[in-house]
């Protein structure tokens, strides 16, 4: 990963983007892709799209990642000045207490999620409260003072920053999925640098954590696109407390994960695996029997059905403030997207031919 690409990754991870409040992060993404894209545009809700214009007779492919992260929202201010919160997306109630958080008001306000000291509670009665039963302490002495600094509806994120671990691994909040939107931008940059024949759209979607909302908008509006490749994180299963009985093996540092089944179009699966082989990129294979849980699930049913593929980045500790990935996987995913874009220029049709074996 070159210095510019790493600086872009660091900027994305440092910029809060809770679902519904992605503007600042989407601006970072759009500013970066504007350096090499032929066109950059956004829609009414902030989905951001960058374009490499290819040959007129070549396919059009979109590589995407969602730019939003989980978080919280201020839903009430108590008389004592504490803030009641609600989840944004799939926030994990087991990791929120005792954490530093930032309330993204007009001027950011620092706070903590309250946790009664172990000395003052009976550990045998411990249970994880729902997030709606937890509270943020910003230091205010009453509601009036709190409301001088925040208001109902302000988003809240963990204050965890990016940390470099041993080797090529990093930890941060919001790796799910600004690493995917990073990969989409970088895949476009590398495809544009190679001047691939295909027209390539890179997309950073919004509100994935609320139910693939941005992808539904993009899948409807972005025409003509012959195929979508959605990049998201997937669960790495190489840490000690993961039960692999119901989860296939995925390792950090072992390369991008190509998913088979469900939304994943067989022609695109084969194209991705062949492109990886030709480019010397190791990939891991994952099964999706019913759904991928990613934007691919929205894209593939858009406009009567658009061939789609889910490519994933191995990620430990998803939906916590300390998600961990290997940056070599990020680079490989970006290279794979560029390789898929290049190889797609040779595809006449992404459709499944059910008549091949018929007389």
Q: Express each pLDDT in 141-158 by its tens digit.
A: 999 999 999 999 999 999
Asked whether the predicted pLDDT for residue 125 surpasses 80, the reply is no
Arithmetic mean of pLDDT, 283-309: 94
101 and 57 in a common domain: no
277 and 150 in a common domain: no
Q: Express each pLDDT in 266-288 by its tens digit.
A: 999 999 999 999 999 999 999 99
Q: Express each pLDDT in 57-72 by its tens digit.
A: 999 999 999 999 999 9
212 and 140 in a common domain: no
With a pLDDT cut of 70, the percent of the chain lying above it is 98
Asked whether the predicted pLDDT for residue 354 surpasses 90, the reply is no
pLDDT band of residue 346 (cuts 50, 70, 90) is confident
Name the β-bridge partners of 99. none
Asked whether the predicted pLDDT for residue 359 surpasses 70, the reply is no
**How many structural domains comprise the chain?**
2
Last residue of a domain, one of 123, 158, 193: 158
129 and 36 in a common domain: no
225 and 297 in a common domain: yes
Arithmetic mean of pLDDT, 236-248: 83
Asked whether the predicted pLDDT for residue 193 surpasses 60, the reply is yes
Phi, psi of 201 (to 5 degrees): -100, 130
Q: Which long-range contacts (CB under 8 A, 24 or more apart) does 248-253 make?
A: 248/286, 248/287, 249/284, 250/284, 250/286, 250/312, 250/314, 251/284, 251/314, 252/169, 252/314, 252/316, 252/324, 252/325, 252/326, 252/329, 253/168, 253/169, 253/314, 253/326, 253/328, 253/329
User: Which is higher by pLDDT, 347 or 56?
Assistant: 56
334 and 239 in a common domain: yes
215 and 289 in a common domain: yes
CATH number of the domain residue 31 falls in: 3.40.630.10
pLDDT band of residue 17 (cuts 50, 70, 90) is very high
User: Which is higher by pLDDT, 143 or 347?
Assistant: 143
What does the pLDDT read at residue 247?
A: 75
| Rounded alpha-carbon distances, angstroms, from residue 169 to 116, 255, 315, 331 | 33, 13, 10, 12
Binding-site residue numbers are: 66, 176, 209, 232, 319
N residues, the chain: 359
Instruction: Characterise 89 by phi-psi region: left (phi > 0), alpha (psi -120 to 50), beta (else).
Output: left
334 and 217 in a common domain: yes
User: Which is higher by pLDDT, 126 or 254?
Assistant: 254
pLDDT band of residue 42 (cuts 50, 70, 90) is very high
Binding-site residue numbers for Zn(2+) are: 66, 176, 209, 232, 319
CATH number of the domain residue 124 falls in: 2.40.30.40
Closest CA relative to residue 9, chosen from 238, 148, 222, 170: 170
Close Cβ partners of 80 (under 8 Å, ≥ 6 residues apart): 141, 142, 143
151 and 26 in a common domain: no
Q: Express each pLDDT in 200-214 by its tens digit.
A: 999 999 999 999 999
59 and 17 in a common domain: yes
Q: Is 328 exposed, middle or buried (0-12, 13-18, 19+ CB in 10 A)?
A: middle
| Rounded alpha-carbon distances, angstroms, from residue 296 to 65, 236, 291 | 10, 19, 9
Asked whether the predicted pLDDT for residue 312 surpasses 60, the reply is yes
Name the β-bridge partners of 231. 65, 311
41 and 190 in a common domain: yes
Last residue of a domain, one of 158, 189, 217: 158
Asked whether the predicted pLDDT for residue 167 surpasses 60, the reply is yes
Question: Which residues are known to be catalytic?
Answer: 208
Residue 85 in any domain: the answer is yes
Q: Report how far residue 287's alpha carbon sits from residue 247's, in angstroms, rounded to the nearest whole number.
A: 9
Domain span at residue 255? 3-69+173-344
pTM for this one?
Answer: 0.95
Q: Is 348 exposed, middle or buried (0-12, 13-18, 19+ CB in 10 A)?
A: exposed
Last residue of a domain, one of 131, 158, 185: 158
Arithmetic mean of pLDDT, 102-115: 97
Asked whether the predicted pLDDT for residue 356 surpasses 70, the reply is no
């Amino acid at each position: 990963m070159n210095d510019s690409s790493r600086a872009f990754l660091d900027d994305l991870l440092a910029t809060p983007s809770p679902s519904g409040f992605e503007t600042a992060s989407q601006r970072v993404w759009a500013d970066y892709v504007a350096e090499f894209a032929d066109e950059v545009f956004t829609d009414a809700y902030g989905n951001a799209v960058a374009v490499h214009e290819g040959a007129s007779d070549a396919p059009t492919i979109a590589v995407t990642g969602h730019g939003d992260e989980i978080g919280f929202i201020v839903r009430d201010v108590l008389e004592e000045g504490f803030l009641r919160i609600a989840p944004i997306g799939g926030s994990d109630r087991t990791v929120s207490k005792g954490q530093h958080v930032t309330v993204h008001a007009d001027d950011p306000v620092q706070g903590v999620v309250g946790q009664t000291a172990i000395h003052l509670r009976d550990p045998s009665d411990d249970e994880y409260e729902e997030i709606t039963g937890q509270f943020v302490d910003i230091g205010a002495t009453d509601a009036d003072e709190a409301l001088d600094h925040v208001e109902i509806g302000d988003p809240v994120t963990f204050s965890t920053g990016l940390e470099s671990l041993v080797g090529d691994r990093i930890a941060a909040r919001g790796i799910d999925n600004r690493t995917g939107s990073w990969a989409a931008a970088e895949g476009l940059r590398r495809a544009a640098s190679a001047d691939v024949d295909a027209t390539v759209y890179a997309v950073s979607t919004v509100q994935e954590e609320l139910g693939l909302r941005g992808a539904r908008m993009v899948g409807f509006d972005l025409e003509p696109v012959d195929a979508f490749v959605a990049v998201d994180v997937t669960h790495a299963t190489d840490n000690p407390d993961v039960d692999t009985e119901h989860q296939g093996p995925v390792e950090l540092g072992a390369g991008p994960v190509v998913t088979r089944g469900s939304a994943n179009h067989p022609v695109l699966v084969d194209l991705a695996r062949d492109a990886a082989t030709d480019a010397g990129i190791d990939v891991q294979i994952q099964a999706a029997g019913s759904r991928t849980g990613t934007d691919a699930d929205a894209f593939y049913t858009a406009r009567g059905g658009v061939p789609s593929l889910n490519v994933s980045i191995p990620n430990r500790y998803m939906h916590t403030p300390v998600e961990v990935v290997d940056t070599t996987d990020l680079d490989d995913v970006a290279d794979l997207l560029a390789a898929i874009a290049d190889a797609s220029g040779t595809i006449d049709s992404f459709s499944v031919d059910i008549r091949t074996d018929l007389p």
